[in-house]
Homo-oligomer: A and B are copies of this chain.
């Protein structure tokens, strides 16, 4: 279900968070659908249950999922998830674009590169 890169600088729990958000935003996981149990995910990914727990707990605090002790964890309403995902991505994009502008990139250069990346990605997807 998930795909981790253990060599990445990005913490494992962050990778898990992002993948769950991706699945929720793209509609693979529906609102109120049950997520796999913490221990099950931990086994499948070969990581410690605490690491998965941390991801679930932070998503819960952010309103992306809701966890019911004794029952499981479930996807929250799509509105909450979309808002959270959108604000996170906007922050990331803003940081990078401003960094480029500070390094004397023109708006046209940035837009052209974004367009190129998008087209390349579309090609790989098909």
A2 at the interface (CB under 8 A from B): no
- Copies of this protein in the assembly total 4
Give A1-17 as 1s and 0s: 1 = Cβ < 8 Å from B's Cβ atoms.
Answer: 00000110101000000
Contact B89 A103 (CB under 8 A): yes
Contact B92 A99 (CB under 8 A): yes
- For A100, give its contact among B58, B71, B93 (CB under 8 Å): B93
Residues of the B chain whose Cβ atoms lie less than 8 Å from the Cβ of A93 = 96-97, 100, 110, 113-114, 117
A115 at the interface (CB under 8 A from B): yes
Interface pairs (26), CB distance under 8 Å: A6-B68, A6-B71, A7-B66, A9-B68, A11-B69, A26-B104, A61-B61, A89-B96, A89-B99, A89-B100, A89-B103, A93-B96, A93-B97, A93-B114, A93-B117, A96-B96, A97-B121, A98-B121, A107-B114, A107-B118, A110-B114, A110-B118, A111-B111, A111-B114, A111-B115, A114-B114
